């Protein structure tokens, strides 16, 4: 079973709550690497290297000419956005705090 480890060349782009267990501990993160490699923290991805979360993100990338349309809360300031560009860790914190959460 493959377990994804966040590295400096992967950036979190989307957070998902599983539809069947919204109140439980399941929060899945889809990240994209510098070479357009996608990873997900869900159990399905670790077993098969593909899942519905990655398929969702890839489909959005394809319909948006190769970019993922991040939906960010208006609560985020320009200072928050500037700090997010400094590292993958800061970017992840920004997405978790201000990004749209999808339910799949």
**What would the pLDDT profile of 32-87 be if each residue is shown by its tens digit?**
998 889 999 988 898 888 999 999 999 999 999 988 999 999 999 999 999 999 99
CA-based nearest residue to 68, from 11, 2, 7: 11
Read off the pTM: 0.80
Cα separation values, 39 from 43, 59, 90, Å: 11, 14, 18
As a whole number of Å, the CA-based R_g of the chain is 14
Neighbouring CB atoms inside 10 A of 62's CB total: 9
CB 86 within 8 A of CB 2: no
């Amino acid at each position: 079973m493959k377990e994804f480890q966040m590295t400096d060349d992967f950036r979190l782009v989307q957070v998902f709550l599983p539809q069947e267990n919204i109140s439980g501990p399941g929060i899945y993160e889809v990240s994209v690497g510098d070479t357009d490699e996608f990873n997900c923290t869900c159990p399905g991805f670790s077993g098969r290297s593909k899942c519905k979360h990655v398929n969702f993100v890839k489909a959005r990338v394809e319909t948006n000419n190769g970019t993922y349309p991040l939906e960010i809360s208006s609560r985020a300031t320009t200072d928050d956005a500037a700090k997010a560009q400094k590292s993958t860790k800061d970017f992840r914190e920004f997405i978790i705090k201000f990004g749209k959460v999808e339910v799949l």
